[in-house]
Amino acid sequence: MIHIEYKLKASEVHGIGFFTDEDLVKGQLIYTASTLLDVNISQVEFSSLDPKEQYEVLYWGFWDKSNNVWHVDFDNSKFINHSYKATLTQDEEHGDAYLVATRDIKKGEELTQNYLEFESVDDLAKRGISLE
């Protein structure tokens, strides 16, 4: 569930990006997992999917090692791009996705996350994501 006002628009990082439409303060809650808008797929279920369905899961989702499932967000949080200088981070005190601002962020800035918080370089490479 997205807890802020936001817009999707062209990103200098990659394709479409997720931009805040309000000023944010360091530590502010941005996103939490939603039992209604997120899908968790076991490896057995994933293996039973048609190759085209598997491609969509690989493109839009990621392997969640801690829960041993493929995780796909239904909402627009999937447009949060990768950055080593991320504006969002996973709050370690929460088990599921719980993203907070890493610093004060001005309205109009792109929100990013370091994907290595939840995936390995090898996992990202398998999905065709370069971290350069």
Residue 87 has pLDDT above 90, yes or no: yes
120 lies in some domain:
yes
1 lies in some domain:
no
Could you tell me which residues are beta bridge partners of residue 31?
A: 2, 99
> What is the model's pLDDT at position 97?
84
> What is the model's pLDDT at position 132?
64
> Where does the pLDDT of residue 129 fall: very low under 50, low under 70, confident under 90, or very high at 90 and above?
confident
Query: What is the percent of the chain with per-residue pLDDT over 90, rounded to a whole number?
Result: 64
Average pLDDT over residues 7-16: 95
118 lies in some domain:
yes
Per-residue pLDDT tens over the stretch 24-72: 999 999 999 888 889 999 999 999 999 999 999 988 888 887 789 998 9
Coil, strand or helix at 13: coil
Contacts for 9 with CB less than 8 Å, ≥ 6 apart: 16, 17, 19
Q: How far apart are CA 73 and CA 101, in angstroms?
A: 19
Q: Domain residues for 70?
A: 6-126
Q: Quick one: which of 87, 90, 88, 79 has its CA closest to 14?
A: 79
> What is the model's pLDDT at position 60?
87
111 lies in some domain:
yes
Kindly report the pTM of this predicted structure: 0.84
Coil, strand or helix at 103: coil
1 within 8 A of 75, measured Cβ to Cβ: yes
55 lies in some domain:
yes
Residue 110 has pLDDT above 90, yes or no: yes
The CATH number covering residue 75 comes to: 2.170.270.10
Contacts for 21 with CB less than 8 Å, ≥ 6 apart: 4, 5, 6, 7, 107, 108
Contacts for 18 with CB less than 8 Å, ≥ 6 apart: 6, 8, 76, 77, 79, 80, 81, 110, 111
Mean pLDDT of the residues in the chain? 91
Domain count, the chain: 1
